[in-house]
Every structure is written in structure tokens, then in C-alpha cells.
Amino acid sequence: MLFPSSVARPETVEKLNNKTFRAAAEAGPNDILKLYNSRGNMVNISPRLPENTQDTRYKLEVVAAHCNGTPIADLLGFDSCSIDHRLHNLERRVYSDSELPSIVGELKYKVEGFRQKLEGVEHLSWLGLFKDMSCGTSLQPFWDKTRSLRRTEEQNRRVLEKFMKMCQVQVTDEVRMYLRKPTFDNWQWDESEMLILLRQMYIDLGFISKYNIEIPVLNQWLYEVFKNYNQVPFHNFKHCFMVAQMMYGLVWLIGLANYLDDLDVFTLITSAICHDLDHPGYNNAYQINARTELAIRYNDISPLENHHCAVAFEILERRHCNFMRNMSKENYKKVREGIIRCILATDMAKHNEIVNSFKTATPIYDFTNKDHKSMLMMILMKVSDISNEARPMDVAEPWLDCLLQEFFNQSDMEKLEGLPVAPFMDREKVSKSSSQIGFIKFVLLPLFEALGQLFPIIEDDIIGPVRKALDYYTDMQKALEEEKKRKNSAELAKQNGILNTNQCKV
């Protein structure tokens, strides 16, 4: 339809609406019209309608028709009474028969269960934090850092104020000695106190004087690190502290200063503090399967670990946070290389490769060999990262609860998005005991025993508690299986009783 601008005057619009457009569309006076431009966009019929040409024709459509009292079904050629009768019969069968068809009942049960899960699991309010679900899974923002994963400014301010006040107080010798033990209980310390204890590690290891570290800058760096850990169930700032504390404990237990130089120990402590920066609570498998921004950025190669490294050095790029700014360029370069190597080693996809390489080198281990020393640092990092089961059970078990909650959050999300779900993360398939037995047997003990071959001194404090944890969860699993058998037997006896009663009646 061509529309010359000469007729687009206000005094002609009413006539144009009633005659020209309706005539062109062969529409009646009560029909509804819509006008589209050449790009398919709907436009208003108004005096300001721009002039068009042969190449930019308008398209006019009748989108609703007045049928003058004639049923629309008759005009379209089908029997509405017959359809209504069929629907009535179907409704009567579903709602009036003595029982629902089994397949309908099963579907209703599943829908109701899923509805309750959606309403009852708080973390699913995070759906909008990871990507726009309506747009699929590709190239969407990884997560919204301004939403609930982050603490509020008020929460951060309170932690900073308490941290700064405590900086004026001397840490007691009793606390300093306790901080060196693998039995350290994190649950009795808040986040401000943990910042003080992390600072104390650098002080007690002599790093302040060795590397000319300015205390105010160290304080600011620690606070920025704290701010960049998210409020997720497991991979949060408290986990960061526990990994650093175990590393610190190993430094004293093994006497690492006798085997590694000061810069290596500095690198290990700093790597432990930074190793999970900005972790969103969803692992690499999720990133890769969901094709998140991080997975695409890092080509599916350790996306989270690469991100943790990047965030660590982004913080250090800020001069007021760069507590290593007085180091020589050579030392800074060595520390940077070591931190990247240690953090990337925490990707569990590389676990077997790293452990097997270390086992091969152990019989001929040479502390002056650069490659051997790098392997040792990676092993120490890995041991510290997954060391919770080496702690007393009342410290370790709450951490397992946190980890399983994070796993369940991820598997719920994966089910909603139609992504693969790992069995050890599925809340419907895993228990505390079943999750730990295999992990301790095939991951923890081989790793810890490999380190124990080089440093037998860790046997009592590190390896022994892990073996006790395996016994604890094995007993728990046996108890669960026996309880399940008892319930199954009771249910079977009940069913047999009902069956016998019915047979007697017959």
C-alpha cells in the first residue's frame, strides 16, 4: 500500500481511517486494523505517518473481524458442540471416575514434588544471577556481581571497622600457637578475626621485614580479598581462611623453611588465600556445559581457576592493595608464576596427573630441582585445599554439610536447564556417608599418603585423622543400609499381611 504524504493532514485522517484504509483492506466498520512498515514493525495510523515508496510499502491487516451474530465456528467450518461434548467426556473421566489413570497420577505426583522443591529451596532465587534463562545458555553473563552473591556495603563496612580496631591489639601467644595446629576450629572465629589471623601469618613468618611489606597496604589487600569472596555455601571467605590455615600449619609441622626458600613459602600462603576468589558456587563442569562467559573466555580450560588468578592480580594491580610493591621485579615475577601454578593445580580435573607425577618423582626427589619443587608446591596446595577431613570431626562435618548444599544447588540448577548432573551432586542419589567414602578412599588418602612418603611427620596429624574419618563414614553408611533393610522388611511384611487378609476375605 502506497501512502502519499500530501494526504497526511489532520483534517483528512478521520475520512482516511473510515474509507481509504478500510476499503483497501476490504474491512467492515467494526473490524480492527493493524498497519506494518516494510521492516515488519507495527506503526500507528496517524497524521504523522511518513510517506512511503514502491520499495517501502506499508502492510495492512485485519486482525479481528465482526461476524454479525454468526458463530465464528460456523464461519470456520467446524462443529463447536461436538468439541464441547468431547471435552466434557474427557473432564468427567479425569475427575469423576473412581481413580485417575496411573500415568496421570504419576505425572501429578512429580509436578507437585517439583513445585515444592522450587518453593522450598532458597538458592533457586539465584536463577537470574547466572544468565537470562529465556535466552538459552550461550554467551550470557556469567553472574550478576551486584546481586545477592555479594555482601552489602554495610556488611563490608562493619567487617572493616572491626578489623581496623583489632589491628591495634596484640594477638596472644596462645592464639598464635593454636593457629599453627591442623586441629584449628574456624567456627569460633568471625570474618574480622580471620583477617587478623591471616595478617598474623605474614608477621610470624617474618615476611614483613623480608619483603618490606607496608602493614597498612597488607591490611587493605586482605580486606579487598575478603570482599571478593562470595556468599556461597562452601567456596567462601571462611573456606579461603581454612585452606590458608592448613597451609600455615603444614609450614610449621613439616618445617618447610628447611626445604623451600622464603619466597616459595610466601607464594604458598598467598596462593592459599587467593585460590577461590570470586567463586560463584558452580563448578567447572557447570561452566563448560552451560557455555558461560568464563568457559568461553578460557576455552573450557580450568575456567574457574583461571578466573581466581585473574581476580587475584586485578586486586594487586591497585597500588593501595599491592602489598608486594616493594619486592624486586624478579621476585614479583617468581611469586606471580608460582601463584598461577598453585591455583591452577586446584582444578580437580588435573588431580590424577599431578599426584602420579609427584609419586614418580618421590623416590628420587631432589629439593634443589626446580621441577620437583614446583610439584611439591602444587601437592601442598592440593592437600590444603581439600584438607577438611584431616580436622576433628566436629570441625570437618559442618564443612561437608556446606559442600553438599553447594552441590545440591548446582544439580538443581542443572536439572532446570537440562544440563548433565553428576551423581555425587544429586540430592536424590547421595548421602553424607556415600559422598565421603569414595572421596576419601580414592582422592584424599592417595594424595595425603603421597605427601607422607616425603614427609612421614604428617602421619599422626594429617593422615591418621583422614583414616578415622573413613571409618566414621563407613560405619554411618552401614547403619543407613541396615536401617533401609529394616524398613524394606517392615514394608514387605505389611504388604504380605494385607495380601493374606484379602485372600481370607475371598
Average pLDDT over residues 470-498: 87
Q: Which pLDDT band, with edges at 50, 70 and 90, does 65 fall under?
A: low
Q: Output the pTM of the full model.
A: 0.72
- Number of domains into which the chain is organized: 2
Tens-digit pLDDT profile for residues 16-52:
555 666 777 667 666 666 777 776 666 666 666 777 7
Question: Grid coordinates standing for 77?
Answer: 467450518
Question: Based on the domain organization, do 60 and 138 belong to the same domain?
Answer: no
Q: What is residue 7's predicted lDDT score, i.e. its pLDDT?
A: 45
Q: Which residue has the higher pLDDT, 27 or 117?
A: 27
Say if CB 381 and CB 360 are below 8 A apart.
no
315 has pLDDT over 60: yes
Write the DSSP assignment of 367-420 as a string of letters: TT-HHHHHHHHHHHHHHHHT-GGGS-HHHHHHHHHHHHHHHHHHHHHHHHHT--
Question: Based on the domain organization, do 39 and 141 belong to the same domain?
Answer: no
Question: Based on the domain organization, do 176 and 45 belong to the same domain?
Answer: no
Q: What is residue 490's predicted lDDT score, i.e. its pLDDT?
A: 82
Question: Based on the domain organization, do 264 and 152 belong to the same domain?
Answer: yes
Look at residue 120 and tell me if it is in a domain: no
Average pLDDT over residues 112-136: 45
Question: Based on the domain organization, do 140 and 57 belong to the same domain?
Answer: no
Question: Based on the domain organization, do 157 and 42 belong to the same domain?
Answer: no
Residue with cell 594487586: 316
Tens-digit pLDDT profile for residues 223-242:
999 999 999 999 999 999 99
Look at residue 496 and tell me if it is in a domain: no
Q: Which residue has the higher pLDDT, 2 or 244?
A: 244
Question: Based on the domain organization, do 172 and 28 belong to the same domain?
Answer: no
Question: Looking at this protein, which amino acid is placed at residue 129?
Answer: L
Q: What is residue 52's predicted lDDT score, i.e. its pLDDT?
A: 78
Question: Based on the domain organization, do 378 and 302 belong to the same domain?
Answer: yes
Give the CA angle between residues 482, 487, 489 to the nearest 5°. Answer: 95
Look at residue 493 and tell me if it is in a domain: no
What is the C-alpha to C-alpha distance for residues 72 and 66, in angstroms, rounded to an integer? 9
345 has pLDDT over 60: yes
Look at residue 456 and tell me if it is in a domain: yes
Per DSSP, the three-state class of 62 is strand
Q: What is residue 126's predicted lDDT score, i.e. its pLDDT?
A: 40
Question: Based on the domain organization, do 57 and 194 belong to the same domain?
Answer: no
The CATH number given to whatever domain includes residue 281 is: 1.10.1300.10
The total of other beta-carbon atoms located within 10 Å of residue 303's CB is 23
Catalogue the active-site residues.
Answer: 235
Weakest mean pLDDT among 119-128, 157-166, 354-363: 119-128
From residue 143, alpha-carbon distances to 131, 288, 415 in Å are 6, 14, 18
353 has pLDDT over 60: yes
Helix locations, 173-328, DSSP H? 173-178, 191-204, 207-210, 215-227, 237-250, 262-274, 284-289, 293-297, 303-316
Question: Based on the domain organization, do 35 and 174 belong to the same domain?
Answer: no
75 has pLDDT over 60: no
Look at residue 31 and tell me if it is in a domain: yes
Query: Is residue 483 exposed (0-12), middle (13-18) or buried (19+ Cβ within 10 Å)?
Result: exposed
114 has pLDDT over 80: no
Look at residue 121 and tell me if it is in a domain: no
Q: For residue 334, what are the domain limits?
A: 134-482
Beta bridge partners of 42: 36
Per DSSP, the three-state class of 34 is strand
Of the candidates 227, 255, 273, the one whose C-alpha atom is nearest the C-alpha of residue 385 is: 273
Q: What is residue 491's predicted lDDT score, i.e. its pLDDT?
A: 79
Question: Based on the domain organization, do 148 and 51 belong to the same domain?
Answer: no
477 has pLDDT over 90: yes
127 has pLDDT over 50: no
293 has pLDDT over 90: yes
Look at residue 106 and tell me if it is in a domain: no
Tens-digit pLDDT profile for residues 196-213:
999 999 999 999 999 999
Tens-digit pLDDT profile for residues 436-452:
999 999 999 999 999 99
Rg over CA atoms, the chain: 34
Tens-digit pLDDT profile for residues 176-203:
999 999 999 999 999 999 999 999 999 9
Percent of the chain clearing pLDDT 70 (strictly above):
73
Question: Based on the domain organization, do 432 and 288 belong to the same domain?
Answer: yes
Average pLDDT over residues 389-408: 97
Percent of the chain clearing pLDDT 90 (strictly above):
65
User: Average pLDDT of the chain?
Assistant: 84
357 has pLDDT over 90: yes
Per DSSP, the three-state class of 37 is coil
